[in-house]
Structure 1
Amino acid sequence: MKNVDIVILDLFLPQEISVDACADLSVPVLEKMLARAKCELLPSEVYSTGTLEEWLCRAFGIARQLDEPIAPITVMADGMQPGTGYWLRADPVHLQMQRTQLFLHPDVPLNADEATQLCASLNTHFAAEGLSFFSPHPQRWYLYMESIPDIVTRPLSQVAGRNVQTHLPKGQDALRWHKIFNEIQMLFFEHAVNQAREVHGDLPINSIWLWGGGHAVEQLARPYTKVCGDSFLAGAFAQAAGISYQILPDDLSPYVDDNEGDMLIIWEGLRRPFQQGDLHAWRDSVQCLEQSYIAPLWKALRNGHIKQLSLNVLNAGVVNRFVLTRSAVWKPWRLSKSLAQYALA
């Protein structure tokens, strides 16, 4: 008997699009789970942002702090050692001007050579300031420094598709980092890499986004014996904690039937289509979630292979937890509601 936590991002949509997006969407098992579970709204003093980064930090025993130390955790998953210095994620992004606002587009495809050239320019420009940039993965860059900057940053996932000007670093050193932010945009504006990208019709990398700063975490908690997911971030936490991590299989049944320990499942499959406004792809992803993962979990709970199942739904700064024990399976009087009825106000 074991406990299973599944974390699902962007399952509940804003009211203005939920009815259309969920029309005729057939997810009976998911709706049954939500109806029969005990629902808990997790406390805002513990989960203030409702991001996956924050959820994983709490799950793996990292106390709440102004910045969640994501960079030193993911830098290890990208094959580097954090050492004793301070790390920030410095991910490459495209900023698009719309009237008077700058909107951020993350996950812009680029290759390793382009990333290397852009980081080399950053290192040349900022060498005198003691800033060192690294690009072990084309879309995950890092900034290393010996001193601790007095700033509070916002996770890239919170800023994607939004006006960056309201999400820039805050704190005593904020003005210095705003200046750095502007210098990087000027440095990249006429960079040879971006000129070549524009010739080929690709979006230029015209800025970076700084977030997730901290020092290496000495020891993470080990609340699970296995972590499965479609999430690089979940894999990084599992690796840092010394826990087995596997990419989500097409069929979850063997994992929930054979594993006797507690298991964490991360499903990020809804995030990208939601952020890109592709509601058809979002619907397809919900169907995949239902058939490949929710249905096998429900069956395992009903058959007694799972002691407790918790669905943690992360949306727009809010974390809802739906907890099911085996007894909840046999409560048919709790009538299912359509997914649209869980829309965010």
Structure 2
Amino acid sequence: MRLTLLLPVTARFAGLPLPPALAQALGRADRAQHDAGESAQLARHLTLLPQGWPAAALTRLLDTGEDDARQGAWLRADPAHVRPDINGARLLGVGATVGIDQADVEALLPALRPLFGDAGVQLDAPHPARWYLRLSPGTPLPDFSTPDQALGDDVFDHAPRGEAARRWRALESEVQITLHNHPHNAARLASGRVPINSLWFWGGGVLPDAVSAALPTVLSDDPVVRGAARLGKLQGMPLPVSLPTNGDALVDLRGQRDGRALIERWLLPSLAGGEVILDFADGVVFALRPGQRWRFWRRPLAVLAA
């Protein structure tokens, strides 16, 4: 059995003691340092042609099918909650984290569509938490921050830059004015929910021609990864409650927040497998193989976090 575990940064494990068996296995493993970051981490195990990570097109495939996703370029425009504070404004929720449902879509989408129609792009929402702009292929786009990169930060620190960004900053301002004045947000506040007062643009691009991977099964709760698996005709499934005990699989654990649970539920059980790759989001990679047990001269790893 071959397993690759995609893991959060090693700092997530700071201060956590490693069980002796895991410490010994990591001390004897082959260790490498690769590029840090989510895109680089995913690219080590999922090969897209042409290269890139067009998240919007990949999730569009998951939401509507390949025939639709091939029709132009796509940009996510997810419903968001931004809260002003004394130093600026912070992004506190995007998509599912703002508690959105179909009733919100039906109330807010008709008010926003004309803004984008006047700009020559089409807005729709095949999934309540995932909204899309259909663009013409070749439309110049600035570098947008992903929600994971920006969540909790001042939105101005993640504002797109350059000539191509002007159009999107102007559209964002119009969107915020429209949503601020929309009565549906007053109803959300009255029901104890935060207002949807912005859209978060990110993930632009066209659907890749092909996706390939070294392992045939992808276990992930990330719709972007699931979309890539579908395009590559891989077996894509939601993340299970425990490590699979047979078959080769890429196991996406990047969204897991509890370092202790990661050690006990995933890392320790992985030692019972054959070949295991532990790939951390900060670029640290351990390769564990059965023959390494004879490296008895190597000391156990004291800590995961630097």
Q: Shorter-normalised TM-score: what interval? A: 0.7 to 0.9
Partner AA of 1:289 in structure 2 = L
Alignment of 1:84-163 (within 5 A): 84-106=71-93, 107-146=97-136, 148-163=139-154
Q: What's the CA shift string for 1:238-287, capped at 9, x where partnerless?
A: 112110022233342533xxx2xx4211013434xxxxxxxxxx3xxx33
Rounded to whole Å, the distance in 1 between the matches of 2:216 and 2:295 is 30
Cα pair 1:231 1:267 within 8 Å, conserved: no
Aligned residue among 55, 76, 83 for 1:70: 55
> Superposed, which structure 2 residues align to 1:212-291 within 5 Å?
212-255=203-246, 259=247, 262-271=248-257, 282=258, 286-291=259-264
**1:85-133 CA distance string (max 9 Å, x none):** 1101111111111212211123211111202322222112221211211
Partner of 1:202, secondary structure, is: coil
CA contact 1:54–1:68 (8 Å) conserved in 2: no
Aligned to 2:28: 36
Instruction: Give the CA deviation at 1:82.
Output: 1.3
Cα distance per residue 1:206-257 (max 9 Å; x no partner):
11111110011111123221112343332222112110022233342533xx
Give the partner amino acid of 1:313. Answer: F
What is the match of residue 208 of structure 1? Answer: 199
Residues 84 and 136 of structure 1, relative CA distance in 2, 3 Å threshold: closer
Q: Which residue of 2 aligns with 1:296?
A: 269
Classify the secondary structure of the residue corresponding to 1:322: strand
Q: Is the 8 A contact 2:76 2:202 kept in 1?
A: yes
Q: Tell me, yes or no, if the aligned pair for 2:48 and 2:210 is still in contact at 8 Å.
A: no
Give 2:278's aligned residue. 311
Distance 2:44 2:73 in 1: 21
| d(CA) in 1 for partners of 2:200, 2:211 | 26
Q: Out of 273, 290, 295, which is 1:326 matched to?
A: 290
Amino acid at match of 1:92: P
Separation in 2 of the partners of 1:27 and 1:92?
42
TM-score between both structures, scaled by the size of structure 1: 0.79
CA distance in 1, matches of 2:211, 2:64: 18
- CA drift of 1:193 comes to 2.0
* SS in structure 1 at match of 2:184: helix
Describe the shift of the 1:254–1:189 C-alpha distance in structure 2 as closer, same or farther (beyond 3 A): same
CA change 1:206–1:264 in 2 (3 A) is same
Residue number among 150, 154, 166 corresponding to 2:157 in the alignment: 166
Q: Tell me how far apart the structure 2 counterparts of residues 161 and 241 of structure 1 sit (CA, whole Å).
A: 33
Q: Counterpart in 1 of 2:178?
A: 187
User: What does residue 303 of structure 1 align with?
Assistant: none
Match of 1:277 in 2: none
Distance 1:5 1:246, change over 3 A: same
Q: Distance in 1 between matches of 2:100 and 2:256?
A: 23
- Judge conservation of contact 1:230–1:268 (CA < 8 Å) in 2: no
1:3 maps to a residue whose letter is: R
| Cα distance in 2 between the residues matched to 1:54 and 1:121 | 38
Q: Which of 290, 301, 306 does residue 336 from structure 1 map onto? A: 301
Task: Report if the CA contact (8 A) 1:133-1:141 is conserved.
Answer: yes
- Residue deviations 1:32-77, cap 9 Å, x none? 443332221114xxx5xx01x4432453223686x73111111111
Normalising by structure 2, we get a TM-score of: 0.88
Alpha carbons of structure 1 residues 329 and 250: separation in structure 2 relative to 1, 3 Å = farther
User: Where does structure 1 differ by over 4 angstroms across 4 or more consecutive aligned residues?
Assistant: 25-30
- Give the 3 Å change call, closer, same or farther, for CA 185–34 of structure 1 in structure 2: farther
For 1:146, the aligned partner's letter is S
* Residue 278 (structure 1) aligns with: none
The 3 A distance-change label for structure 1 pair 29 and 154 is farther
TM-superposed CA distance for 1:145, in Å, is: 1.7
Separation in structure 2 between the aligned mates of residue 13 and residue 222 of structure 1, nearest angstrom? 27
> Is contact 1:4-1:310 (8 Å) kept?
yes
Deviation at 1:291, TM superposition (A): 3.1
